[in-house]
Structure 1
Amino acid sequence: MQAKVVIVGSLNMDLVTRAPRLPRAGETLAGQSFVTVPGGKGANQAVAAARLGASVAMIGCVGDDAYGEQLRSALLTEGIDCQAVTTIAGESTGVALIVVDDNSQNAIVIVAGGNGHVSASVVDGFDVLLQQAEVIICQLEVPESTVGHVLKRGHELGKTVILNPAPATGPLPEQWYGWVDYLIPNESEATALTGLPVDSPASAESAAKTLLASGVGKVVVTLGEQGALFASQERVEHFPAPRVKPVDTTAAGDTFVGGFAAALADGKSEAEAIRFGQIAAALSVTRSGAQPSIPTFAEVQGYQP
């Protein structure tokens, strides 16, 4: 079975605590609960794409510890091709320390661990997976040089290349834009990339037009409960969000990206893929955790507003 969607990215174990609110600097809060949950933007997007109908392969690195084995096992359980999930001797697996408050907002600290070893040479060792792909997805939780290498290679191969610029801290390297078919930032990421405030569909359109002028193919700005803004050189369209009661927003963006990619790989139109990703993301925020919150294809198909 060839992989229609290949994700090059991070695998983290999420260490999640719930608290009444996010702590201030120097403050100690009493937490309400603690769980360990498989996560990492790359792995989350791989699980989302797999549950939502795609054949998926993951390229990434874990440490030689218990967390690494658990993360690999979680992907294998989803039917994801893990031949390119490489174990790095003497290194810890990446972790994300997550606090979720009573308003379902979160604050996250990431320690790269094995993710810092996802090099161009590691990716090149599994180039056959990129060749087999229809859609290639990258994020920014592995080294920047590796991301650029994958974007360029995907473009050379004529694949549909998606970049989820998360976490973004500033503008991307200029040469990247021409290699990206779909750039999918959220509000804060769009702000970081462009320097423009993004908090509404109108401001997202301004940011998207700036990104299009940089050479990117198309832009989808995810806006949480305000929906998503699609922009290309030809058109701009706002997609309202499905209405749900949020419990935990962790991995909502990853679920959207995975669902969007899975739908594109299945031959759906851009509008269909965006709506499919939105429903998947909306269902995910009604549940706690990263990968455990991601819905299945059947759940999305059965969604009733």
Structure 2
Amino acid sequence: MSTVVLGSANRDLVYRVERIPSPGETVLAGHATAVAGGKGNNQATAAARSGAKVTFIVALGTDEPGDRLAAEATAAGITLQERRVTEPTGTAIITVDDNGENAIVVDSGANRLLETLNVKETAAIAAADVLVLQLETPLSAVIAAANAANAASTTVVLNASPIQPLPAELLACVDVLIVNEHEARHLAAHTHRIQTQHGDENDLASALSKLGPAVILTLGPRGAIVCVPGEPPALVPGRNVTALDTTGAGDTFCGALAAALDQETNRALDLGTLVRAAEFATTAAAISVQRHGAVPSIPTLEEIRHFHSVN
């Protein structure tokens, strides 16, 4: 069993602040750190720490941040299929307030050049059990990867973040669509003209599942809704924890969910399979929000199992 992640990697500059500044406002940080980040990198790390055998397709600059990200990914047990490109490695500036909420600005850098797939990358996707995608890299490569996976019967998990219109060609290849409530409403209303009542997450998840894939709608501390076309939505409750930093929690959820799906002996994506995977992923995310940073907060398989057993 194996998981391939195609996506972004950034060096995150994280600033702890009392409150996230308003437009035109300057605030002083109490602490600052530089850590590994990027949605693809976060999700690859989460999948690896959750027990999956992970290959990560990524573009990095020929610079010190690129070297460090590559070394850290390798140390996490990830097999890298990296491209070293002329653009500098991606970076992100993240402010985290005293309530654990964050605001993020990303300079994609090298990630912008991950536009196509080569023969080796396509072969890795075709040989995998699960492919994980996000939208911080060019859509052309995301679509190419999804097509390669679909042709090989590889399960395609798409975290539609940052949100943008999803072409029909991409949706036709997606098996599991993961979105938060904001992304789901934007996707429904602005991309596919689906109208739902505000606040009714079950209707929203059901409406999106009519586009084809199973839908997992994440609700932060309230857990997640799992919806398979033709079946009533199922709620996976959140864990009762105190959040210190929500940065990377969604990515932890996605990577852990992919690992859980990868380890299912039954490859059918029925409601029970997805609920079990979402329960595992919700536990992983709950652990992550109790720690600082994106990659540094991601738990191991042993930590997830222990948390599940005592809560």
TM over 0.5: yes
Listed as ranges, the gaps of 5+ residues in structure 1 are none
What does residue range 216-295 of structure 1 map to in structure 2 within 5 Å? 217-235=213-231, 236-267=233-264, 269-295=273-299
What does residue range 1-305 of structure 1 map to in structure 2 within 5 Å? 4-82=2-80, 84-88=81-85, 90-122=86-118, 124-168=119-163, 170-195=164-189, 200=199, 203-215=200-212, 217-235=213-231, 236-267=233-264, 269-303=273-307, 304-305=310-311
Shift of the alpha carbon at 1:116? Answer: 0.5
Q: 1:184 to 1:292 in 2, by over 3 A?
A: same
Shift of the alpha carbon at 1:156? Answer: 1.2
- 1:148–1:176: 8 Å Cα contact kept in structure 2? yes
* Correspondence for 2:270: none
Aligned alpha-carbon RMSD (Å): 1.5
For the residue of structure 2 that corresponds to 1:229, the secondary structure is strand
Relative to the length of structure 2, the TM-score reads: 0.92
- Give the Cα–Cα distance (whole angstroms) in 2 for the partners of residues 267 and 145 of structure 1: 30
- 1:41–1:141: 8 Å Cα contact kept in structure 2? yes
- 1:17–1:33: 8 Å Cα contact kept in structure 2? yes
In structure 2, give the amino acid aligned to 1:131. Answer: A
Q: 1:185 to 1:198 in 2, by over 3 A?
A: farther
- 1:57–1:80: 8 Å Cα contact kept in structure 2? yes
In structure 1, give the amino acid aligned to 2:26. Answer: T
Shift of the alpha carbon at 1:197? Answer: 7.2
String of CA shifts for 1:58-104, please: whole Å, max 9, x gaps: 0010111110001001100011101x11111x311001110001111
In structure 2, give the amino acid aligned to 1:190. Answer: A
More displaced, 204-213 or 7-16? 204-213
For the residue of structure 1 that corresponds to 2:166, the secondary structure is coil
- Give the Cα–Cα distance (whole angstroms) in 2 for the partners of residues 19 and 183 of structure 1: 33
- Give the Cα–Cα distance (whole angstroms) in 1 for the partners of residues 196 and 211 of structure 2: 18
For the residue of structure 2 that corresponds to 1:102, the secondary structure is coil
String of CA shifts for 1:97-147, please: whole Å, max 9, x gaps: 10001111000001010100112134x442221122100000000001111
Overall identity of the aligned pairs, in % = 39
Q: 1:197 to 1:31 in 2, by over 3 A?
A: farther
- 1:171–1:192: 8 Å Cα contact kept in structure 2? no
More displaced, 177-186 or 227-236? 227-236
String of CA shifts for 1:191-247, please: whole Å, max 9, x gaps: 2211267875xx2222222222222x2000000011100001232101110111100
Aligned pairs, number = 296
Shift of the alpha carbon at 1:173? Answer: 1.4
String of CA shifts for 1:41-67, please: whole Å, max 9, x gaps: 001000000001000000010111110
- Give the Cα–Cα distance (whole angstroms) in 2 for the partners of residues 80 and 231 of structure 1: 31
In structure 2, give the amino acid aligned to 1:231. Answer: C
- Give the Cα–Cα distance (whole angstroms) in 2 for the partners of residues 219 and 212 of structure 1: 6
In structure 2, give the amino acid aligned to 1:14. Answer: D
Relative to the length of structure 1, the TM-score reads: 0.93
Misfit runs of 4+, over 4 Å:
196-200
Listed as ranges, the gaps of 5+ residues in structure 2 are 190-194, 266-272
* Correspondence for 2:268: none
- Give the Cα–Cα distance (whole angstroms) in 2 for the partners of residues 104 and 25 of structure 1: 20
